[in-house]
Amino acid sequence: MDVIEERVTGILSGQFKLKKEIITPEVTFQNLSFDSLVLIELSLVLEKEFQVVIEEGDLTDQLTVRELAELLTDKGAVA
């Protein structure tokens, strides 16, 4: 697990009160029961944490934690 993936896991467990055991790199946000409003909240948290801009539609419920970390890296997030 890379540093950005670890930070995303920390955000999901800390701010969104998810158990770390269920946050695997392959889990989708749909599996975590994230609806569109929670995804919007997550995008705002990630923008602030990683100093990146997340466009509408970047975060979907089909995205995995690993894919989110890759998206953040592609957008210039610094570990």
The domains located in the chain, with CATH, are 3-74 (1.10.1200.10)
Say what the pLDDT of residue 51 is: 96
> Which of 30, 77, 17 has its CA nearest to residue 50?
77
Place of tokens 């953040």: 72
- C-alpha R_g of the chain: 11
Please state the pTM of the whole predicted model: 0.94
CA dist., res. 24 & res. 6, Å (int): 10
Render pLDDT for 12-69 as a digit per residue (tens, 0 to 9): 999 999 999 999 999 999 999 999 999 999 999 999 999 999 999 999 999 999 999 9
